[in-house]
Every structure is written in structure tokens, then in C-alpha cells.
Amino acid sequence: MKKKRKPTKYFPPLPQKSINILRILDGLAFILVFITILACLEIEQMDQIFFGGTLFVIFLVVGLILGYQTIYHIKERTPLLSHPMAQKNFFLKSLFFLFLIGTPSLASFYNRTFPFNSTTCAIFPILEKGQSSRTPSSYFIYFQHQNQKERLSINKDMWMAIKENQPMEICIAKGGLGFEFVKEIYFVHE
């Protein structure tokens, strides 16, 4: 007995106008990828936020949900993007990744840009120094804040000048989303 072949869904060829629209969307996708790369620069600033990992995960999930919903609604309302020629469309994928990475980046930016209260400064001893193994290196210090060891990224010149157990004045503010972040760091002259 011969196996019956399932009929394939027929899609008529696209008119030139639709092909041009898909090409424009592909060009727009490269702009979206560039914006996503810029959003990654803001994610690096999350190291200055206490519980920045928690902020990242919360807004990553929010971005995942928003991105999925947006892609779903665009596909439902735009039949052109359901055509097999558009299945390789880079636009929807880049839009999804923009939501995925851009939402935590925007949350971090908002938290640091619109603080709730004024900055409070305190003196903390530096517990230890650290350096990443990647090139170019990132430099950071550890200090005790509210019974937790916190990491703070700093520039190389400051990192070279700091010694372990040296007191530093660290100014902390509560951000717009309620997450505390380091606003400034100063040497304490004895």
C-alpha cells in the first residue's frame, strides 16, 4: 500500500512591491541589531546596581513576554510575514532580540537616571580587588554593604591606586525602580 503524500500549502509568488517591503524590513533589521548591541553597553552598567542580576532576570522575562506577544501580533496582522519567502526574514528575529536585551537595558538606565532619593555616602573598607581574565580586562573591587559582599566595577587607574583594606567613600542612591546603585566613589585621604 502506497503512502499518501500530504498536499503542500500553495503560496502564490510575491509581487515586486512585497519583495521590496521584505528587503526594507531586512535593512531595518540591521538597525535593530545595532540598537541591541548598544543596549548591551547599558547591561554592563548593571554591575553598579546592587542586585543587578535580579533586575536583569526580572526584566529579561518581561522582555521575553513582550517580544513574543509583539511578534505574534505582527505575524497575525501582516500576512506578508507568513509567506515562505519571509520565513528567513531577519526583521522579526532582530525585533525579538531587541525586546529581550533592550528591556533589561532600559530598566537599568531608568533605575540609574531617575533616583528616588538623594545620594548617601559612607566609608567602606575594600575587602579585595579583582580583575577579569578577558581582554580588555575589567577591574573591580569588593566591599561589605548591608552584610553582603558587593562587587563594584572601576577604571584601571583607580584600581591600580587602591589597596586592600583601604577605606573608600562610596556614594549610594536608591534608583527609580527601587534598586540601590553606586553613584560615585572617592578616595579617603587619611
Per-residue pLDDT of 121-172, as tens digits, reads 889 888 898 888 877 888 888 888 888 888 888 888 988 888 888 888 989 8
The pLDDT value recorded for residue 151 is 86
Share of the chain above pLDDT 90, in %: 19
For residues 8 and 2, what is the distance between their CA atoms, to the nearest angstrom? 18
pTM for the model: 0.78
Per mean pLDDT, which of 43-47, 67-71, 152-156 is the most reliable?
Answer: 67-71
Architecture of the domain defined by 120-187: Beta Barrel (2.40)
The pLDDT value recorded for residue 76 is 85
- Evaluate whether 126 touches 163 at the Cβ level (below 8 Å): yes
Share of the chain above pLDDT 70, in %: 93
- Evaluate whether 22 touches 80 at the Cβ level (below 8 Å): yes
Give the distance, in angstroms, between the CA of residue 50 and the centroid of all CA atoms in the same chain.
16
Mean pLDDT of 37-59: 87
Give me the chain's average pLDDT, please. Answer: 85
Which single residue is written with the C-alpha cell 533616583?
115
pLDDT digits (tens, 9 = 90+) for 14-40: 788 888 888 888 888 889 889 998 888
Please say whether the dihedral angle defined by the alpha carbons of residues 181, 111, 38 and 66, taken in this order, is positive or negative: positive
The pLDDT value recorded for residue 98 is 92
- Evaluate whether 9 touches 75 at the Cβ level (below 8 Å): no
Q: Which long-range contacts (CB under 8 A, 24 or more apart) does 23-30 make?
A: 25/89, 25/90, 25/91, 26/89, 26/90, 26/91, 28/91, 29/89, 29/90, 29/91, 29/93, 29/94, 29/95, 30/90, 30/94
The pLDDT value recorded for residue 190 is 62
